[in-house]
Structure 1
Amino acid sequence: MEWRDGLPFAVDYGDGYFGSRDPRSEVQEVFIGANALASRFRQCRRFVLAETGFGSGLNLLMALQTWRHEAPPGAFLSMLSLEAHPLAPEDLAAIHATLGLDGTDARRLRSQYPPPVAGLHRIEFPEARAVLTLALGDAAPLLSGVAGQVDAWFLDGFAPRSNPALWNTGVFRQIARLSAPGATFGTYTAAGQVRRDLEDAGFEVRRVPGHGRKRERLQGTLRTRPNTPVSSRSVPERVAVVGAGLAGLAAAHALQARGVTVEVFDPAGVAGGASGNPAGVLLPNLHPQDLELNQIALAGMRHTAALTDHLEGKTHRPIRLASGVAFHGISAHGRKRVQRLQKAGPARAGLLFAPEGPGCNPAPHLFYPDALALDIRALCEALAAELAPVRHETVQDIQTLANGSLRLQGASGLEEYDAVVLALAAGHQRPLCPEQAAIATVDGQMSRIQAPLPDWGGFVATGQGYCIPEAHGRAWIGATYRHTAAPATTAPAYTTAEDDQANLRHLSWVPGLQDPSEVKVLARWAGTRAVVRDRLPLVGPSRMDPEGRVMLSLAHGSRGLLYAPLAGEWLADHLLGLIEPLDAHTRARLDPMRIAVPGEDSAES
């Protein structure tokens, strides 16, 4: 990008970022007015807006401004934007300064602007009740992996003559696939080939007077297509969430933010299981070759951090314990992992680690500047504070009814819901879905200690075990990993002095922990975690209901901070037909159908 006559210009495309010297009025007429957004926003509960060509974000920031003025209370806006060549953060900030974009939404956009990594990235606007999914990369392949139904399109981007990758039948067919009945579009261009291609894709296209000096532009509506199958699945408006740990509360929080009435059931109350952990580490699980796994890690890191920022701002209660995590290659396996990731480079790992960064041990290490230590119980309590009180009841059974709803049987009797999210704690005694039979349980103990720890910068040290430093030589260390003999048991995890010593042995490489006799144990905590064979969670529809009304968020294991909030966001968007935060291929890695269930016909599985 360079500046020409006071406006940003894309040299490679030979085109400006705006079509006139009055970009705001251009956006108002060409996109917001063409899609009649003001009147449509006033009448909606949820709306999905998408654009091709994010650029500076001006289009969506102005749409957000209209949304704030017109949308009824409780309505929710989901936005999708595509960008093949994202601006550098400093160029984005310079354009915003030129346009006078310094409101809450513009600041949130800049603060959450993603790294230049291909894929889908979420940006949250909680005050506006909106989210943006910013898709970086080539339009056609990106759109083919997107799920959701779009109500209105901004077809923006550099001129078709210089940017044919954005203005072609492959892109327009994907736009039509994602469009809800009656979806509309507006665009600055009036190119004849664009008009013909849009008509071939299924849109009624009209020429209208252009903006400023431009003679014509296009706008239109998706035609009603004959013989199009009509989905029998209705949008759920009343959802039950079973489980008040991090997974259940995150799903309930995301659903409520989208205008759904949610009730949470858990006899143990908020964070009664492993989510009661007083100190956990938000750390990516990276692989030098597995780009899908790295994409999930990047999405999980970003979402949990944004959620933490939002909740700390609302509750004024600290949830973060430390910022920055160094992973040291202490064991042979750990050294090999560090070296392979260093060789692959941070670009293959979502730019999550810095090529060079601080450590507290000479061993090879990776530094994750955006990784965090969090008080997981405090995070759960902050989520619960925004919801209706948790119902301290055990759900005994789930029945599917002919009218499309689900009936839950609990201590209060029978109640009907449009959908159910099962986010059960490890060792839940009563099986409610067949997938529970494939889950194993693992106990883990943490120890809070007083030790002669030097000040190494306040970041978390991990390798074999982890050490979360506090002030005055105190720290949380952990955690043991002990497979339980009976996964179905509901007995709570127990703490032992032997596990304190195991934690210290695993962390003898940490400065100040070499001599156990100089370490005093101040407190202990233990919890039971649920896992499946590949150590990824089960997120998606359960086998027990082919209609997709029973959804799972299970088996997050020791990476609940990384996966559970993202899973809740995905479940809410999936149930409501909004733009989902993971593309289809990446999301399949979490699909419960990937695992075999004991007793299931192997030919079918």
Structure 2
Amino acid sequence: MTPRTMPESLSWLPDGTPFSTRFGDRYHGEQGLAQARDVFLHGCGLPQAWAGAQQWRILETGFGFGLNFLATWAAWRADPGRPRLLHFVSLEAWPVPADALLRAAERHPELLPLARELHAQYWGLLPGVHRLWFEGGRVLLTLCVGDAQALLRQQLWEVDSVYLDGFNPQCNPDIWSLETLKAMARHCRRGTRLATWTVARSVRDALAQCGFAVDKVPGLPPKRDNLQARFDPHWQPRTSRQAPEFARPARCLVLGAGLAGATAAASLARRGWQVTVLDAGDTPAAGASGLPAGLFAPHLSPDDNLFARLSRAGVRAMLQQSQALLQEGIDWSPAGVLERRPAGQPGLPAGWHDGPGADWSHTADAGRLADAGLPPDASACWHARAGWVRPPRFIARLLEQPGIAWRPRSAVARLARGAGTWQALDGAGNPLAEAELLLLAAGPACNALLAPLQAPPLPLQPVRGLMSWGPQPAQAQGLPPFAVNGGGALAAHVPCDGGPAWHMGATFERDVDRLPMTAEEQAAAHASNWRRLRALVPAAVPALRAAFEDGQGLRAWAGVRCTAHDRMPIVGPVAPAALPGLWVSTAMGARGLTRAVLCAELLAARLMGEPLPVEARLAQAMGCERL
């Protein structure tokens, strides 16, 4: 799938209706919001149909200007019987420009506040799956950019309602073809309701052939008829989807109060789970997630590989939750990251700057280079959607969410499986807590807990690292106003107790897990960070020379992270047949801030049978099943 996509080609009719010059058709004509409500929302029996449901999942075949999504979101907001979680999955081959969303919404003032929230997240829509996050994570828009038929065949969603929308069948026949409708029907359960504005005979016949009971109903004037349908095939539908392990929220034990554990606890708690987090430390983030400051940023790859796509999905998820929980300038800063690159290797795919990829990253301009004290011919990329975070502050806010009980000084020595529950036992064999689901988020310690259960060991490699940091000298010159990475990472101007601080690191020692580090090891790690700093940001050398060469205010933080053999996270059930209810989330490596929130949402979606926040292929690349 190419990383390049062009926006829709638009014009505006005299009455303010948007018109697609690509397909020669109106978007939603003069009926506007009335069509969204009467044809689609009410045509699927909503909001009455979702009353009392834990979650509701809607599939739409043409996002357009998002009017159907906005109308459904507004109905969810207004309904006291709404489901706890609303999933809206929408397909779009040609996303409209972001500013056009607001222009179209101006015709419907009651939706304009929601349209502004959508507009704020409607960026960087490269081909693939994008998860947009609203209402504190209770309204989730999964926007899928690309060919509808291919997307429908690749994914494994199960949905409760279908909005069959798109341009006129004569203008865009592919979206209404039998092959596309067959691919759509794969995502329906028996009883899924479908609604559309077209009553074309070809569409009615194709839906019937796919297993739908189809009815013509009175249309919204001036249309005489609309179409409603219910998936009720006379055969037993085949599916490659696995039944979710948990149909409803239950209790969960999370072992580990670092990034992986805290993000997973928060994702489950938002869905109604009662979560207990156990950790041997006195405070959250007592292990590898306790570094004083860290970066989140996309990864670059000329072929836009899985690793790069994972990083973008993770950055988007991190931005969403940080904006909801953290104080900008104190706990985090999304001010961007400058990445130094090897000469002649910008890392950007061909055609990147001509499409939405530039919303994510682009070649650094002379102004950014000058701010970093670099010459105008330096090779560097600017990541606009990136920044620094103070992980302990982020983890603490995650663990404060309703439904989470944090239990420090709770060292788990052994796991035991009972009648439908898991127990965590201390060194004396006493139970610390029990739950239906047990999540291991303990980094390198996961295998020690799995071994007595005769579970296959996870391919984890410990990686020790040291970050050099210290108080920022008064009136220091040459420290960039944003973070810089590439052969190390420098983040300055980070608020800490007593004033701003700088952070440089961290070292990367594979297959080393010994802590604390000796004085000699610390000195060697500081020297390594000093060498890398001089190459990364030469302009910062005068400000930090006294710290590194004379030890003035120089401090160290050290921790042991873990990675997998393929550098991908490990998320999923450990051995579902033999050890049901035992899951793991680990192997974040040095990219925990970029990956952890996404992994938590993936874990929750897999547990409860929700639409996944990423493409199925990417989810498989992170799953335990690949090992």
1:196 corresponds in structure 2 to 205
| Paired residue secondary structure (1:37) | coil
- 1:390-443: per-residue Cα shift (whole Å, max 9, x none)? 123344444556x7x342232452865333322113345732264655211111
Say whether 1:389 aligns with 2:402.
no
Gaps of 5+ in 2: 1-9
| Paired residue secondary structure (2:448) | coil
2:277 corresponds in structure 1 to 264
Say whether 1:470 aligns with 2:486.
no
1:112 corresponds in structure 2 to 121
| 1:322 and 1:459 in contact (8 A); partners too | no
Say whether 1:422 aligns with 2:432.
no
2:187 corresponds in structure 1 to 178
| Paired residue secondary structure (2:74) | helix
Say whether 1:508 aligns with 2:529.
no
| 2:43 and 2:194 in contact (8 A); partners too | yes
| 1:45 and 1:72 in contact (8 A); partners too | no
| Paired residue secondary structure (2:59) | strand
1:304 corresponds in structure 2 to 318
Equivalent runs, 1:111-190 vs 2, <5 Å: 111-127=120-136, 129-190=138-199
| 2:303 and 2:349 in contact (8 A); partners too | no
| 1:151 and 1:179 in contact (8 A); partners too | yes
Q: 1:114 to 1:525 in 2, by over 3 A?
A: same
Alpha-carbon distance in 1 for matches of 2:81, 2:139: 13
Alpha-carbon distance in 2 for matches of 1:459, 1:317: 12
1:377 corresponds in structure 2 to 392
1:9 corresponds in structure 2 to 19
| 1:493 and 1:528 in contact (8 A); partners too | no
| 2:476 and 2:543 in contact (8 A); partners too | no
Tell me how far 1:307 sits from its aligned partner: 0.9
- Which of 309, 331, 348 is the aligned partner of 1:341? 348
| 2:169 and 2:175 in contact (8 A); partners too | yes
Alpha-carbon distance in 2 for matches of 1:245, 1:350: 31
Q: 1:6 to 1:210 in 2, by over 3 A?
A: same
Q: What amino acid maps onto 1:420 in structure 2?
A: L
Alpha-carbon distance in 2 for matches of 1:440, 1:170: 45
Alpha-carbon distance in 2 for matches of 1:328, 1:291: 20
Alpha-carbon distance in 1 for matches of 2:215, 2:417: 47
Tell me how far 1:534 sits from its aligned partner: 2.0
| 1:539 and 1:553 in contact (8 A); partners too | yes
Q: Provide the TM-score with structure 2 as the length reference.
A: 0.86
Alpha-carbon distance in 1 for matches of 2:605, 2:517: 34
Tell me how far 1:261 sits from its aligned partner: 2.4
Say whether 1:590 aligns with 2:622.
yes
Alpha-carbon distance in 2 for matches of 1:384, 1:561: 16
Alpha-carbon distance in 1 for matches of 2:592, 2:123: 22
Alpha-carbon distance in 2 for matches of 1:547, 1:30: 46
2:7 corresponds in structure 1 to none
Q: What amino acid maps onto 2:167 in structure 1?
A: F
| Paired residue secondary structure (1:504) | helix
1:601 corresponds in structure 2 to none
1:58 corresponds in structure 2 to 67
Tell me how far 1:565 sits from its aligned partner: 0.7
Q: What amino acid maps onto 2:598 in structure 1?
A: L
2:466 corresponds in structure 1 to 445
Q: 1:281 to 1:128 in 2, by over 3 A?
A: closer
| 1:493 and 1:527 in contact (8 A); partners too | no
Say whether 1:355 aligns with 2:369.
no
2:101 corresponds in structure 1 to 92
| 1:345 and 1:355 in contact (8 A); partners too | no
Q: 1:428 to 1:538 in 2, by over 3 A?
A: closer
Percent of aligned pairs sharing the same letter: 29
Alpha-carbon distance in 1 for matches of 2:625, 2:138: 32
Say whether 1:498 aligns with 2:529.
no
Tell me how far 1:517 sits from its aligned partner: 4.2
Q: What amino acid maps onto 2:292 in structure 1?
A: P
Q: What amino acid maps onto 2:19 in structure 1?
A: F
Q: What amino acid maps onto 1:382 in structure 2?
A: R
2:3 corresponds in structure 1 to none
| 1:117 and 1:350 in contact (8 A); partners too | yes
Q: Provide the TM-score with structure 1 as the length reference.
A: 0.89
Q: 1:120 to 1:543 in 2, by over 3 A?
A: same
Gaps of 5+ in 1: 596-605
Q: Number of aligned residue pairs: give it.
A: 582
- Which of 500, 504, 508 is the aligned partner of 1:481? 508
Tell me how far 1:470 sits from its aligned partner: 0.9
Q: What amino acid maps onto 1:500 in structure 2?
A: H
| 2:162 and 2:194 in contact (8 A); partners too | yes
Bigger Cα displacement from structure 2, 301-310 vs 10-19: 10-19
